[in-house]
Amino acid sequence: MASSLRIELELCDVGGIGGTLAGNALSMAAMRATLSEVLTDAAYARMLPLAEAWTDGVEHGIRSAGLPWHVTRLGCRAEYLFGPYRPRNGRQAAEMDDFALQRFTHLYALNRGILLTPFHNMALMSPATTDAQVALHTRVFGEMATELSKGASTS
């Protein structure tokens, strides 16, 4: 019976977040170090402008290519979705998802040295993120958006 079980690729989670081992001593020590030494006012003073620049770059790429997409930023996290408006709930967000297009955008970026969050078109700026990395993403995203819009206009 187990051999007949089929799990859809986009529904499986292998991220290992949470669960029984989430509260172990190593996890707690890592959390303490993160909260006291990484997520500081100085780090946020650096990360927030980078997230704004990343968002501005994506927004420019979307507009320049004329794609019906949008980008949203929340603090140091920014993400683009394949729809013209910001969703107000999970169902609206799910309706905008395009699994094949999401995989394409990830592979396009990955083949050019950029790793996006594996289950969204998202980036989270860290204290180690550089201006050059944000600029690279802006360039690559713009090139991808332009290629997609040209492909859509010829089909």
What domains sit in the chain, N to C, each tagged with a CATH number? 40-154 (3.90.1150.10)
φ, ψ of residue 81 to 5 degrees: the values are -125, 155
Give yes or no for a contact between 57 and 73, defined as CB atoms under 8 angstroms apart.
Answer: no
What does each of the 155 residues of the chain score in pLDDT, given as a tens digit? Answer: 455 566 666 666 555 555 666 667 888 898 899 899 888 999 999 999 999 999 999 999 999 999 999 999 999 999 999 999 888 998 898 888 898 999 999 999 999 999 988 778 899 999 999 999 999 999 999 999 999 998 766 55
Task: Give, in order, the Cα–Cα distances in Å from 23 to each of 26, 28, 136.
Answer: 8, 6, 37
Position of tokens 């977040």?
17
Give dist(CA 116, CA 148) in Å, integer: 18
